[in-house]
Chains A and B, each alone.
Chain A
Amino acid sequence: MTPSNTHSEDLLVVQDLRVTYRGLRGSVLAVDGLSLSIAAGEAVGLVGESGSGKSTAGLAVMGLLPSRNAVVTGSVRFRGEELLTVSPEKMRGLRGDSIGMVFQDPMTSLNPYLTVGAQVMETPVAHGMSKSAARSLALNLMETMNIPAAQDAFHRFPHHYSGGMRQRAMTASAFSGDPALLIADEPTTALDVITQDKVLRLMKEELKRRGMALLLITHDLGIVAGLCDRVVVMKDGRGVETAPVERLFTRPVHDYTKRLLAAVPRVDTPMPAATDQPGAVGGGPAAGHGEKPTARPVVEIKNLTVEFTSGKNVVRAVDDVSLSIFPGEILGLVGESGSGKSTLARAVAGLITPVRGTVEVLGRPVRPRDRRALKEARRHAQLVFQDPRGSLNGRLPVEAIISEPLRNFGLARGKQLLERTRELLDIVRLPGDWATRYPHELSGGQCQRVGIARALAVNPDVLLCDEPVSALDVSIQADVLDLLKDLQERLALTIVFISHDLAVVRQFADRVAVMCEGHIVELKPAAALYATAEHPYTRDLLAAVPIPDPTKYRL
């Protein structure tokens, strides 16, 4: 990219930033000549997929990279002062006071042994403010960030806070030094849509009021559209395109930006082809999917209640849910985290024992205590997991992972086993000779394909997909969704698709069930749900989804 014009009033100027990580197998160039500038009060988005080097760039600007493993070259100037060569004492002075940072994970970036209030007032105290002044400032900030009962919350510990509250506290702590620049690294990725919307709105308001500049590092183009003035798109450590936000979303120049924008599922575009060609979906058994399914359901859930006990607390994760899933359909299951959607899937798979109610797969009840019946049920209903890497045993090669169910169910052995493994790899569009690779050598998308191949090994009728794409980048997400759709048609699968991403579900599912606090609050064909949502919760959910278009979505 062309070096940006370095105006004298620019707050932060990054020029030709290069970061090299030294590893066991040689060095990795994580950031390769990135240049960007941020004017005072400007919000700049740094977007890119995982591994593009955006987080590393953010850490390099703050001087937070371990000097032992990372070599940083180039120039980072803040108010004309070079940060890469500045003394550690000076840098500490700048951090918090002039540059604030909000990290991705609100769970781990707060110290669990200190009260939240103490952590919010830490920065001003470290920069010489008196304790009482810092306390009132921190309280004030926490109130501004809409933390309920701030007086009381001040003295509470991070584990008393919900995820959204924690992130708000983190933001409050970043604001506490009244910095000129805020670097936010995926600030809302760990949050639910509705919470995300709230946090972002608060953040935006506060930035505007203080005239603070923002460097927003994110993979979510929707958030960028809503929050930023200018966008830098990163790929493989390079900034491939820099443009004002309106231009980027209307007339992207670089191929990569175009592809990225095209891959993002949206809730605002006209309904995709799914409703136009319903026949394509029911490729398997003649299934009357759509509004009035007439066939016998493959999965029948009746009055299912699941409870978790921790100490004396009883949490009802799924509360009296009844649901029928019909052959050949794709049922979307959406809701915030903690709404019980994953628990429901696990109860269907027999991994969790329900308190009440029954689950029947192909007319046979699933009883977790009856091992034989359970094994039989699992031959017909399989699960695809959320974490592509965590769901694969890292010590085993791909072939062992895929052939594990074949072996355990006694479906194949010897030569047959190898053939079937290869066939499965072929089905999920992975080269057959990757069988000897290990999960750590595969990308997230490839890992998820292996996970799907494993689930398909027993030729199941129902595939329960628990957030199968939420851990993947947008472009890979599209590939995996495409694969799932293709498999559903070719193998006559019934798919239960769980996701917190309403845009993905809209694009993918035939029917959508919305879950909230263990209940199904709305169940409708996809087109109908997105057009005429009835339940207020569904409406809130839909309204909070960021749309990658600054003309339609602006915070």
Chain B
Amino acid sequence: MSILKGNNHVSVRGVAPWRLVICRLRRHRLAMAGLGLLVFMCLFVLAGGCLVDTRAEQTRLWVGARPPGFSHPHCQAEMIFEVGGVAPLAGKPARCERLVYECRPVVWREFRIVTRRGEIQSITEGATSLDELDLSTLAGDVFERLEGNVDGRRLPKVKLVRGERPADGMFADGQRVLFAGWRETGQLERVSVRLVNQRVTEIRAGVGTMIPVNRRVVRGHEVEKVIGDGKELRLTHPLGTDELGRDMLLRVVNGGRVSLLVAAVATTVSLLVGVSYGAVSGYAGGATDAVLMRVVDILYGLPFIFLVLVLMVVFNRNIILLFAALGLVQWLTMARIVRGHMMSLKQQEFVEAARMGGASPFRVVFYHLLPHALGPIVVYATLTVPVVILEESFLAFIGLPVQFQGTTLDSWGSLVHMGMAGLGEGGQKWWLLVFPSLAMVLTLFGLNCFGDGLRDSLDPRQT
């Protein structure tokens, strides 16, 4: 039985047509470049998260939107350390035995200004009363203080003098208002925490000689530097951060997972349903074909966006549903393409030969005919992926991002949407828009190049 296995017959072994396709594809530079780009993007999406600390995706409001390359000390919004308690830390710092936070505490200066009949009646800071208050010389901005210690609007830099009228529009008439100005104090403070099995055993705080304390609050925005076991702990953001201080790289990576997953699933649905539907319709012909294709026509008639919107409103924005909706739309074109090819393929003599050889209709369609339509199927599938990514982006863009179990998932489309919203007037926060767009563009470019090369390679006339 050496026909199949014998090594001595290697020289006469046939070269399968698909081998020739691969051979041609390998010589197609653009296609290989596209494939390389695609593989790179897939690897990036799968493993790109390793490039930065996963905690970088946490919200750090005080960091705000920072440009690429920005790094800041790793710390959380507010941590309460208590001797004997569990340290409120996650990830790497929890494994440290000694943590040192260098803080620059922010001191609040609070002024109370009372107005009456349009004039300033009294100005007080704490218990001391002032004759005048020069807001223009205060180091930081001055805000209106609202209920619950919330900053209101920023106040103009003016000088307030008792007995005089404040600047126009500064207060509503007869209003008593509380202000607060804030600025940093120059003095660094240190908090040193010793940990055993994530439990705090000792806290020392103060400047110079560190005094042991029982309880200490460390606020994220006050921290200048974190040192764990002698090493400085910082988070770097190669692609910058968004307005909530979250790392853009992680968001792009996570968004890519969703986008590519949606694309892959929708394309698979379109392949499975569209190919079998089209193949059966094209091979059967006659009345069967007419009925099947009219169903496709009707589905074509339904506006896709309307369909998706209705589905999303009725069943919430579930990711599974999005898959279903996108796939259900995509298979229609695939079915038509495959049907057309089947109709011309089934007239070839080898189909009659297969029928003469006792092959069942099922075998004729799926074993003999489908491999011949593989070219257009593969090419159309590679073209479906970008379409689905774009459609999902469009949905995210119009404010219907993918949701899974109640949480909104990022996708490239939704990131671009947010990037555009937060771009700023002069495009200062360009990284919010550029990186998600770039990821999307590179992937689509790679796919299109690859699909184009694949089509060329599958065309036997191409040399």
Contact = CB atoms under 8 A, between A and B. Distances in A.
Interface of A: 22-24, 69, 346, 349, 351, 375, 378-379, 382-383, 385-387, 390-395, 397-399, 404-405, 408-409, 415, 418, 421-422, 431-438, 440-441, 451, 454-455, 457-458
A332 to B, nearest CB: 21
B356 A422 contact: no
B144 to A, nearest CB: 75
Nearest to B358: A408
A438 B391 CA distance: 42
A506 B16 CA distance: 40
Interface string B8-21: 01001111111010
A393 B3 CA distance: 20
Contact of A408 (B14, B24, B363): B363
B29 to A, nearest CB: 14
30 contacts: A23-B463, A24-B24, A24-B27, A351-B355, A375-B358, A383-B353, A387-B349, A390-B348, A391-B349, A392-B353, A393-B368, A394-B17, A395-B17, A399-B3, A404-B359, A408-B359, A415-B1, A418-B3, A418-B4, A422-B3, A432-B3, A433-B3, A433-B6, A433-B12, A436-B9, A436-B13, A437-B13, A438-B14, A454-B357, A455-B356
Contact of A436 (B12, B23, B27, B363): B12
Given A24-B463, A395-B371, A418-B3, A451 B363 contact: no
Contacts of B355: 351
B352 interface: yes
A349 B354 CA distance: 12
Contacts of B359: 404, 408
A392 B356 contact: no
A394 B371 CA distance: 10
Contact of B349 (A349, A390, A397): A390
Contact of A351 (B16, B350, B352, B463): B352
B285 to A, nearest CB: 13
A455 B15 CA distance: 24
Given A378-B358, A408-B363, A441-B14, A394 B372 contact: yes
Contacts of A383: 352-353, 356
Contacts of B2: 433
A451 B16 CA distance: 19
Interface of B: 1-4, 6, 9, 12-18, 20, 23-24, 27, 348-350, 352-360, 363, 368, 371-372, 463
A69 B14 contact: no
A493 B355 CA distance: 21
Nearest to B348: A390
B3 A24 contact: no
B16 A404 contact: no
A159 B20 CA distance: 37
Listed from nearest, the 7 A-B pairs whose CB atoms lie closest are A437-B14, A408-B358, A405-B357, A391-B349, A395-B371, A438-B14, A390-B349
Nearest to A346: B352
A458 B353 CA distance: 13
Contacts of A409: 358
Given A393-B368, A397-B16, A436-B9, A385 B352 contact: yes
A378 B356 contact: yes
Contacts of B354: 393, 404
A440 B372 CA distance: 14
A422 B463 CA distance: 34
Nearest to A385: B349
B17 A351 contact: no
B175 to A, nearest CB: 84
Contacts of B358: 375, 378-379, 405, 408-409, 458
A541 to B, nearest CB: 26
B372 A395 contact: yes
A99 to B, nearest CB: 27
B233 to A, nearest CB: 57
Contacts of B13: 436-437
A391 B357 contact: no
A536 to B, nearest CB: 34
Given A24-B24, A395-B17, A397-B16, A349 B348 contact: no
Nearest to A397: B14
Nearest to A68: B463
A469 to B, nearest CB: 15
B44 to A, nearest CB: 33
Contacts of A346: 352
Nearest to B353: A391
Contacts of B12: 431, 433-434, 436-437
B352 A392 contact: no
B350 A438 contact: no
Given A433-B12, A436-B9, A349 B356 contact: yes
Nearest to A425: B3
A117 B247 CA distance: 72
A405 B3 CA distance: 19
Nearest to B8: A433
B1 A398 contact: no
Contacts of B15: 438, 441
B421 to A, nearest CB: 51
Contacts of B463: 22-24, 69
A408 B20 CA distance: 29
Given A24-B463, A399-B3, A408 B357 contact: yes
A454 to B, nearest CB: 7
A385 B353 contact: yes
Contacts of B3: 399, 418, 421-422, 432-433, 435-436
A393 B352 CA distance: 11
Nearest to B462: A24
Contact of A391 (B16, B20, B350): B350
B405 to A, nearest CB: 45
Nearest to B1: A418
Given A435-B3, A436-B3, A436-B4, A454 B353 contact: yes
Contacts of A378: 356-358
Nearest to A375: B358
B362 to A, nearest CB: 12
Nearest to B23: A24
A28 B18 CA distance: 22
Given A391-B353, A433-B6, 13 more contacts: A24-B20, A24-B463, A69-B463, A382-B356, A385-B353, A390-B348, A392-B353, A394-B17, A404-B354, A409-B358, A436-B14, A438-B15, A441-B15
B4 A351 contact: no
Contacts of A457: 357
Contacts of A398: 14
A436 B10 CA distance: 10
Contacts of B350: 390-394
Contacts of A435: 3-4
Nearest to A69: B463
A351 B20 CA distance: 34
Most chain A CB within a 10 A radius of its CB, from B1, B12, B350? B350
A438 B16 contact: yes
A320 to B, nearest CB: 25
A383 B355 CA distance: 10
Nearest to A441: B14
Nearest to B9: A433
A415 B24 CA distance: 35
B368 to A, nearest CB: 5
B349 A386 contact: yes
Contacts of B23: 24
Contacts of A441: 14-15
A415 B40 CA distance: 46
B227 to A, nearest CB: 63
Contacts of A436: 3-4, 9, 12-14
Contacts of A392: 350, 353
Contacts of A458: 358
Most chain B CB within a 10 A radius of its CB, from A394, A398, A433? A433
A346 B360 CA distance: 18
B321 to A, nearest CB: 38
A421 B348 CA distance: 24
